[in-house]
Structure 1
Amino acid sequence: MPDTSVTKGHFRVAGKEFPNIRWWSLPRLRSTYFLLFFVILTSATNGYDGSMVNGLLSLDQFTNYMKNPSGSIKGIFSGVMFLGSLLALPVTPYIADGLGRRWGICIGSIVMIFAVILQSVSINFQMFIAARFFLGFGVAIAHGSAPLLITELCHPQHRAVFTTVYNTTWYEGAIVAAWLTYGTNNINSNWSWRIPSIVQALPSILQISCVWFVPESPRWYISKGQMEKALSVLAHVHAEGNVEDELVLLEYEEIKETLAIEKEAEQTGWLELFKTKGNRHRLLILISAGLFSQWSGNGLVSYYISGVLDGIGITDPDMQLKINGILTIWNCLVATTMCFFVDKYGRRPLFLVSTGGMMCCFVVWTICSERYNATKVKANGSAVVFMIFLYYTFYNLAWSGLLVGYTVEILPFGIRAKGMCYMFAFVDIALFFNTYVNPVALEHIGWKYYIVYCVWLAAELIFVWFYYIETRNTPLEEIAKHFDGDAALVGGSAATEKGRILEHEIHEREQKSAGVHEENVGLDKI
């Protein structure tokens, strides 16, 4: 296992330590990070949607307009979005890898704007459901590019924080939606739900307007043979434009050689994640992360808090909206704070504490729900609300931010976009199942449904213990060593033995090709 220890106040690239930098004191890095805010908005859009659906289902104006939808119809309202996302995934990596990360974000945003317009003018639930299908399609395309651009563009010292922050902005979108629907609840017309729907287009409009000011991924430029552009972006973002900077040159060589080796080994297809032991390990993490992030009981509150609160006697729409709004603020604070401790405590410890804490909270949550159902004592219902907040505190220690932060960094460039599609596919499968089953289960068996999640969380904890490994303080290209060992395809100064052999073969082939070219030029002159 490679050594990931670093001297305090330093970070490491290709085995060499560099002193930490203050990003706020560097104009170009500061402006780049400001612009990355508009890339992060992709996740905020997703969070807005989840909270908005929660809020709309608590609005009498909406449920009356949609003719009081049953539990199964409520499931379709949310579930069809994830079906749209699932169907978009096969084309997503070809957009991200073929056209670039920025084009992927832009195309996804355009589709989402179209969907929001259709959703906002809906005259029945069939039209509303169709709009949400296209919304999911657009979200998947944008999601397939945004975290890749962040991961591949950030300075090595800040990569973990930024990639973890990406998914936590789900809550920022959720906060806006939760309190907006709370405010529009006082509008006694259909504008009470159309206004939140219209506002959903704002993040996509901002992304289309601003994403072109964000530099493209230097790794994508290198994959397309545009070496000068890649070096220029690395220098601009990581060294204030100095192309002779030691860190920039080390990164450039490591990325260039690693991508050349991956291309030589032809490890870029959909089935690559099944072919080697290291890739199968990655695949297990991708699938489990997608499932665990949504099948841990959080889907009950994220999309159907009204049903959970109904079960403990809190039926007033105004109170439900207040609880939903306060919960999203608390989630945002905890999740965002934890982003700054990912490199300090490590990925694996956070996953273990998070999953174990959720399991304990859910057991108590279930017991309190049963006691309320049997006694109707208000204190038991209040205890459930407290356990919901405590449960989400543990959830946000890891699963909120590291869902994307951890999975995107464990994937080599050649299969990064496709690998993330596997993860997002299982997120969508889990969400589609949850959003359809959860309201029906809550309606028919109430608190007893929680027992399923208690057992499932115990299984999650066991799986995380055996399969989730530590990757902190490791440069992006070098993370492959944690999974593949000496067989890792890593170039540059940090090359593995296999990497050095392949590098040598590539250079020999290039020299022979150059020699043949020179001979042909000489013959042409004769």
Structure 2
Amino acid sequence: MLKKTQTGTWLPAWVPESTITLSVLLMLCAMVQSATGGYDGSMLNGLNILPSYTDYFNLNAATTGLNTASVFIGGALGPIFSGVIADRIGRRPAIFWGSVITLLGVLLQTAAQNIAMFVVARIILGFGSALSGIAGGVYLSETFPSRWRAWGVGMLNNFYYVGALLAAGITLGTGTWNSTWAWRLPSLFQGIFSLLCIIVLPFIPESPRWLVHEEFFEEARISVAQTNSNGNISDPVSIAVYKEIVDTLDWEKKEGITMSPLEMIKTPVSRKRLLIGMSPGPFSCIAGNIIASYYLGPELDTAGITDFIQQLKANVVLNVWCLACAITGTHLAAVWGRKPTALLSEGLMVTCLFIIGGLSKMYADNPTGASKSLVYGDVAVMFLFQGFYSIAWTPLLYLYPPEIMNYSIRANGLAVSSFALNAFALVFVFIMPIGLANIGWRMYMVNASWDIVIAGLIAVFWVETKGKTLEEIDAIFEGVKHSDVPDVEAIRLGKAQIDVGAVETELENEIAGDNDKMKGE
């Protein structure tokens, strides 16, 4: 059964009564950024291997880097506007417009006649993906119940490998075609995720936190009930979640906290939240995965596997492996915690990078005399590295930042994290083929050194957010919880109880008091 639900925006909603069904729809909708991004990386991996693509554009190392990295120009520009747009027009409309822009970029990329058109199309694609991805990450974190948030938001970026797997299979299938459709058809298929997102949007509610902030209180209460208790607005868990949201946002307004981007740097607590919350963006980018994410062909060349069909097959296997590791990492983040999962992943990556660098050096010193065991050992560790990267950074990239940041800086803070990711990626994706061509195996050693530093920063500065609602995480930074109801997880497990009638009366008086104050002003 679907229930027509007010959303406070021009985009209507008919929401299913089942919380589980709704949770599935939430993930399907918000996957657009990661699936599109994963498809893009894997597709370019395949295209950079295909002679029909490289010969059509007459690519060299510099133009290969430009064609590949141009998506990050749009990805770096998008966050400048994404946070403000998501705050002003609502989370769902922001996802919608981001998806529309992404579709436009996909169509232009498919029709590209020269490098300039291809680059412009990819800038537009990157901009749309950034807008929908940031709005989607904020939306999911604010809408999913705390008990499922690690899975719900973590799986958002795990869909990266769903898109990547599809792209790898499609480019493998078209790789032998003797026409430009060998690369145009994979490009056209990239729009399927944005189209799916647009189709699902009318069947999910607006973020309850955005609705409370915009003073659509009844709509917010219904949204909380739909996502927590099959639409039962009198359920104790739903009442507690709603009360936490109302109390915390009311406190922010009374403290004079605004939605201005300047709030991110206004106080020491905000600056701390921003620095910790934005760190997954640059940390994940400079970890070393860009080599295999976009330049698997040159990486395999350094290991002695030069046949392009074999490289395309390796691309498919790699994405299956990474998807399995990302799902495993999401489970670890849910039951073990965000910080331990990140430290485990970093330690494993450092080990792999040093091994890859050593094996690649051995091959480079004597390529004609290298044994098959050396070649296959090098490739095996490359695959292990990508899987170990996926354990932490794939789920945490969109899960951790919105958990760390409070409502007033959440959208803009995630935008800063995304901007940092895309700015770093723009540089690294462009210089990586040049670096591999000039210093070869030493690139792996450089990346290993960066990862050691990253692990130290995580160990010292990150905080754990497992098992807490977004409002309860405030207590870690503010030193106090801004609501008098017990923690939601304690209520859910039966360790604490609330008087539903008394809380409802308190909410009515609080909301009525705020309305009277506004009328007086």
- Describe the superposition over 1:109-158 as per-residue Cα deviations: whole angstroms up to 9, x where unpaired: 11111111111111111111110010011011101211112111112211
State the match for 1:202 in structure 2: 192
How far 1:41 sits from its partner (Å)?
Answer: 2.9
Query: Mind listing any 5+ residue stretches in structure 1 that lack a counterpart?
Result: 1-25, 496-503, 521-526
8 Å contact kept, 1:255–1:492: no
Question: Which amino acid letter does the alignment assign opposite residue 174 of structure 1?
Answer: A
Distance in 2 of aligned mates of 1:162 and 1:509: 30
Q: Which runs of 5+ in 2 are unaligned?
A: 1-15, 488-505
CA offsets 1:189-210 (integer angstroms, 9 cap, x no match): 1111110011111111111122
Shift of 1:272: 2.4
The answer to whether the Cα contact below 8 Å between 1:250 and 1:492 also exists between their aligned partners in 2 is no
Residue type of the alignment partner of 2:476 = H
Q: Does 1:347 align with 2:338?
A: yes
1:63 alignment counterpart? 54
The one of 452, 462, 485 equivalent to 1:493 is 485
Deviation at 1:276, TM superposition (A): 3.0
Q: Which moved more, 1:69-78 or 1:54-63?
A: 69-78
Q: Distance in 2 between matches of 1:512 and 1:195?
A: 56
Q: What is the one-letter code of the residue matched to 1:234?
A: V
Q: Over residues 37-62 of structure 1, what are the superposed CA-to-partner deviations in whole Å (9 max), with x where a residue is unaligned?
A: 12223311111011111110111111
Q: What's the counterpart of residue 201 of structure 2?
A: 211
- Whole-Å separation in 2 of the counterparts to 1:356 and 1:183: 36
Map 1:347-386 → 2, pairs under 5 A: 347-376=338-367, 377-378=370-371, 379-386=373-380
Residue type of the alignment partner of 2:84: Y
Deviation at 1:476, TM superposition (A): 1.5
- Aligned partners of 1:235 and 1:248 also within 8 Å: yes
Aligned length, in residue pairs: 481
Q: Aligned pair 1:191/2:181, yes or no? A: yes
Question: Relative to 1, partners in 2 of residues 1:371 and 1:98: Cα closer, same or farther, differing over 3 Å?
Answer: same
Q: In structure 2, what is the Cα distance between the partners aligned to 1:512 and 1:161?
A: 36
Name 2:111's counterpart in structure 1.
121
Identity %: 33
Alignment-derived partner of residue 170 in structure 1: 160
User: Superposition pairs for residues 215-254 of structure 1, below 5 Å?
Assistant: 215-254=205-244
TM-score, with structure 1 as normaliser: 0.87
Whether contact under 8 Å (1:299, 1:434) holds in the other structure is: yes
Question: 1:325 maps to which residue?
Answer: 316
Give the alignment partner of residue 169 of structure 2, picking from 158, 179, 183: 179
Equivalent position SS for 1:293:
helix
What residue is the counterpart of 1:428 in the other structure?
A: 422
> 1:187 is aligned with what amino acid?
W
> Match for 1:306: what amino acid?
G
Query: 2:465, 2:182 → 1: CA distance?
Result: 47
Structure 2 residue 42 is the aligned partner of structure 1 residue 51: yes
Higher mean displacement: 85-94 or 189-198: 85-94
Return the alpha-carbon distance in structure 1 between the equivalents of residues 36 and 317 of structure 2: 19
Go from structure 1 to structure 2 and tell me whether the alpha carbon gap of 1:224 and 1:432 turns closer, same or farther (over 3 Å shift).
same
> Which whole-Å CA distance do the structure 2 matches of 1:513 and 1:259 have between them?
15
Alpha-carbon deviation of 1:286?
Answer: 3.1
Q: Greater shift after overlay, 340-349 or 185-194?
A: 340-349
Shift of 1:180: 0.6
**TM-score normalized by the length of structure 2:** 0.88
CA RMSD of aligned residues (A): 2.2
Counterpart of 1:478 in structure 2 is: 472
Matched, 1:415 2:406: no
Provide the residue aligned with 2:4 in structure 1. Answer: none
For 2:491, the equivalent position in structure 1 comes to none
Which residue in the other structure is 2:301 paired with? 310
* Equivalent pair of 2:32/2:132 in contact (CA under 8 Å): no
Q: Are 1:298 and 2:289 counterparts? A: yes
Q: Are 1:96 and 2:94 counterparts?
A: no
Distance 2:411 2:450 in 1: 29
Judging changes above 3 Å, is the alpha-carbon distance between structure 1 residues 70 and 257 closer, same or farther for their aligned structure 2 residues? same
Alignment of 1:263-278 (within 5 A): 263-267=253-257, 268-278=259-269
Q: Does 1:439 align with 2:430?
A: no
The AA in structure 1 aligned to 2:51 is D
Equivalent residue, structure 2, for 1:23: none
Residues 168 and 336, structure 1, Cα contact 8 Å, conserved in 2? yes
User: Structure 2 CA distance, aligned partners of 1:510 and 1:396?
Assistant: 48
Secondary structure of the equivalent of 1:399? helix
Distance, in Å, in 1 between the alignment partners of 2:198 and 2:515 is 43
Question: 1:439-490, CA deviations, whole angstroms, 9 ceiling, x for partnerless residues?
Answer: 111112211222211211111111111111211111121101122323x6x2
Partner residue, 1:150: 140
| Aligned 8 A contact 2:74 2:127 in 1 | yes
**Shift, 1:515, TM fit:** 9.0
Q: What is the CA distance between 1:508 and its match in structure 2? A: 9.7
1:335 aligned to which of 308, 320, 326: 326
User: SS at 1:244's partner residue?
Assistant: coil
Deviation readout 1:369-408 (Å, 9 max, x if unpaired): 0011112213322221111122123212211101111111
After TM superposition, the structure 1 stretch with the greater mean CA deviation from structure 2, 48-57 or 390-399, is 390-399
Matched-pair contact (CA < 8 Å) for 1:286–1:422:
no
Q: Distance in 1 between matches of 2:433 and 2:402?
A: 32
Instruction: Give, in whole Å, the separation in 2 of the partners of 1:383 and 1:87.
Output: 40
The residue that corresponds to 1:109 in the other structure is: 99
Q: 1:258 aligns with which of 221, 239, 248?
A: 248
Matched-pair contact (CA < 8 Å) for 2:277–2:400: no
**How far apart, CA to CA, are the structure 1 residues paired with 2:514 and 2:75?**
47
The structural deviation recorded for 1:246 is 1.1
Q: What is the alpha-carbon distance in structure 1 between the residues aligned to residue 453 and residue 328 of structure 2?
A: 27
Following superposition, the deviation at residue 292 of structure 1 comes to: 1.2
Distance 1:443 1:260, change over 3 A: same
In the alignment, is the contact (CA less than 8 A) between 2:157 and 2:395 conserved in 1?
yes
Supply the AA of the counterpart residue of 2:121. A
Q: 1:517 to 1:95 in 2, by over 3 A?
A: closer
CA distance in 2, matches of 1:511, 1:191: 64
